[in-house]
Amino acid sequence: MSKRKHGKYSTRQQLQWVWQRAGRYKYGVFLTAVLRMWSAANVVVVPLVFRVLVDAAVAGRKREFMIGFVLYAGLFGLQTAIWGVLFHLNQRVSFQMEASIKGRLYEGLLRTEYSSLKEYAIGELNSHLNSDVKLIVSGLLTIVPGLLSIVVRAGGAALVLYWWEPAFLGVYALVLAGVGVAMAVLRRPMKTMQRAVRRESDGVQAVQQDTLSNTLMVQTFLAYDSATTAWKDRLDSLRQAVYRQNRFSNVLHTGYGVLSDLGYLGCLLWFGAGVLDGRVSYGTLSAALQLVSQVQNPFGDMTQQLSSWFSFQTSAERLMDLDDLPKESLRPDAPPPDMQTIEIRGLSFGYDGDPTLDDVSLDIHQGDCIGFVGVSGAGKSTLLKILLSLYSVQAGQVTVRDKEGGAVPLSPATRQLFAYVPQGHSVIAGTIEQVVSFRYDQTVFSPEEKARIQAACRTACVDDFVDTLSNGYETLVGEGGAGVSEGQLQRLAIARAIYYGAPVLLLDEATSALDEATERRVLENIRALKDRTVLTITHNTQALSICNRIVRVKDGKLYEECPAAL
C-alpha cells in the first residue's frame, strides 16, 4: 500500500467534490434541509404555546387553555409527520445517491492505470466503495441539514430568551461561546483519531479478506493459530485506536454534560427567582426551561456533528484519492487491423528504481510463436504487461507496424491486439458461456454466439469436461473457480482468450496445471490457429515444442536461443 498524504484537500474542495457527485439527487439534500429547518422552527414554537397553556391553566382560563391544548397537540402531530416524511426521503435518496456515487467510482477504478491501482489492497478498495461512500452520503443528508437545523433552533430560542430576559441570555451566551472555542481547539486531535480508526479498520478488513480467500492454504498448513493471531493483532490495533477515540469523546461529552446541567440549573434559579419576585409567570418559567434545552441540545448535537463531520472529511479525502488516480488514456489511434510486426527498441523498466528490463530490443513478427524462458522474477510477465500497456515503459519505445509500414505507438488503445491468459486464477464467477465470452451482463446467447463459444472451447479442450456436465455450457462456475478444477480453469481462461479473437495470444504459464496429454492437444490446437501470433511464458519443455523462436530473459536482457538446443 502506498503512503498517501492526508489533508491535501481543503474543506471547500471536499464539499465541492461530494456535491458534484451527488448529481441529480441534490434535491434530496435540499428537501431534507427544508424539512429539518421546519422541524427546528416547530420545536422553538412549542415552548411558546406551552407557556400560554400553563398560564391559562393557572389563571383558570378554560377557553384559552383548550385553544392552547389544540395548538400544542397539533404541533406534536406536525412534528411526527415531518419526521415520517424525512425518514422516507432519507431512505429513498440515500440508496439512490449511494448507488450513483459508488457506480461512478467503480467504473473509474476499472479504468484506472493498473500500476496505480495495485498499490491498494482489495480489502481497502472494498472499504472505500462501501463504508466511505455510505459515510459521505449519510453526512451529506445529515450534517448540512443538521447544521441548518441547529442554527434555526439555537437562533430562535436565543431570540425568545432575549425578549424575556436579556441579561440571562448574555451570561449564558458567554458560556456557550467558551464551549464553541473549546470545540475549535479540539478539532485537530479529533480528526487525527478518526483517521487512525479508519486506517486500522481497513487493516482488519484486508487481513480478513486475504485470509478467507486463502482458507485452502490455512487448512493445508494447519495455520489456524497463526492466521487467527495475525487477525487478532490487527484487531487489537483497531481496539486501541477506538479506545483512544472513545476516551477523548467521553471526556468531551462528560464536560459538556456538566456545563449543560449547570446551564439548566442556572435557568431554573434565574427564572425561579423571577417567579418569587412576581415578575415572571409559571408558564414563562416552564417555557424558559424548555428553550434552554433547545439552545443546549444543538450544542450537544455539535459534538456528534463534529465526529460525523470528521468521518465525512476522512471518507471524502480517501475517495478523492481514489478518484484522482491516473486513468488510462484511451486515445483514438486505432491499432492497425493487419499487424505485421511489434518492434521493441531500447526498452527499460523497473520497480521502485530496481531495473527489471534494461535496454532490451526485440522484433515480434505476425505468425511467430515465441517462448520466453528464464528464472522466476526475471521480467517475463512484466514484458507481457508492458505489451498490454498495463505498465508504461520508462525508456525506449514499443511500436506496432502494419504491412504498409504504418506505425502506432503502444498504448491502452492497442490493447485490443492482445488476448491475455495470466498466471493463476483469473475467472470471474458466472456460467461457462459468460466466462468464455466475458459477457456477464448477458444470460441468453444467440445460436451464432453459442457456436463461437463452443468453437473456442473445442480449441482449448474445454468440451472434454463440459460435455459431462448436466447443464453443459450453462453450468455455473462459482466464486474463486468453485465447481471446477485448476486445470479446467486454465482451459476456460485459454478459451476466453481465443474467443476474444485478438491476433496476438499472450500465455503466462497457461498450461501449467494440465496433464501431459491435454497440454499437448491444447498447444497443438493453438498452433493450428490461423493468423495468430503466440507469446508464451513457460518452464515446460513440451510447451516450447510449438515455438519457432525461444527468448531467454536473464539479468534484465533478452537473449534469443535456438529452439533445437532445448
The DSSP-derived string for 52-99 is HHHHHHHHT-HHHHHHHHHHHHHHHHHHHHHHHHHHHHHHHHHHHHHH
Beta partners for 383? none
549: its cell numbers: 523462436
- The pLDDT value recorded for residue 34 is 93
| Helix boundaries (H) for 118-223 | 122-127, 133-164, 166-185, 187-212, 215-220
- 339-565, which class in CATH? alpha beta
Query: From CA 380, how far away is CA 475, in angstroms rounded?
Result: 34
Assess if CATH 1.20.1560.10 describes domain 11-323. yes
In whole angstroms, give the CA distance from residue 39 to residue 36. Answer: 5
Could you give the CA distance from residue 233 to residue 228 in angstroms, rounded to a whole number?
9
Biggest alpha carbon–alpha carbon distance for the chain? 115
Q: Are 507 and 536 in contact (CB under 8 A)?
A: yes
Task: Give the pLDDT of residue 456.
Answer: 93
CA distance 92 to 240: 36
Residues of the chain with CATH 3.40.50.300: 339-565
First vs last C-alpha separation in the chain: 41
Q: At what angle do helices 62-110 and 282-323 cross, to 10 degrees?
A: 10
Which residues make Cβ contacts (< 8 Å) with residue 312, sequence separation at least 6?
A: 14, 135, 136, 139, 140, 143
Contacts 24+ apart (CB under 8 A), 521-525: 521/461, 522/459, 522/460, 522/461, 522/491, 522/494, 525/458, 525/459, 525/460, 525/461
How far CA 352 is from CA of 2, 116, 120, 359, 394, in Å, comes to: 12, 13, 16, 17, 12
Which candidate, 22, 117, 126, places its Cα nearest to that of 324?
117
Report pLDDT for 337: 57
Provide CB contacts within 8 A for 406, sequence distance 6+. Answer: 336
Provide φ and ψ at 557, rounded to 5°. -120, 160
Phi-psi region of 105 (alpha: psi -120 to 50; beta: other; left: phi over 0): alpha
- Contact at 8 Å (CB) between 462 and 432? yes
Distances from the Cα of 285 to the Cα of 56, 261, 278, 281, angstroms: 14, 16, 12, 6
Q: Three cell numbers at 224?
A: 489456524
Element (H, E) at 344: strand 339-351
State which residues of the chain have pLDDT below 50.
1-3
Return phi, psi of residue 339, to 5°.
-50, 125
Going by DSSP bridges, is the β-strand pair 533-537/549-554 parallel, antiparallel, or unpaired?
unpaired
C-alpha to C-alpha distance for 374 and 440, rounded to whole angstroms: 36
**Dist CA 63 CA 299 (whole Å):** 38
- Write down the pLDDT at residue 187: 65
User: What secondary structure letter does DSSP report for 512?
Assistant: T
Which residues lie closer than 8 Å to 353 by C-beta, 6 or more apart? none
Say how many CA atoms lie within 13 Å of 324 toward its Cβ.
13
With beta carbons less than 8 A apart as the criterion, state whether 527 and 459 touch: no
522 touches 461 (CB < 8 A): yes
Asked whether 122 and 61 are in contact (CB, 8 A), the reply is no
For residue 336, count other CB atoms closer than 10 A to its CB.
18
Listed in order, the ranges of the chain carrying CATH 1.20.1560.10 are: 11-323
Q: Give the phi and the psi of residue 347 in degrees, each rounded to 5.
A: -75, 130
Q: CB of 82 within 8 A of CB of 295?
A: no
* Rounded Cα–Cα distance for residues 106 and 113 (Å): 13
List residues bridging with 259 in a β-sheet.
none
Rounded to whole angstroms, the Cα distance separating 40 from 152 reads: 6
Provide CB contacts within 8 A for 379, sequence distance 6+.
349, 356, 357, 553, 556
For 104, other C-beta atoms within 10 Å of its C-beta total 14
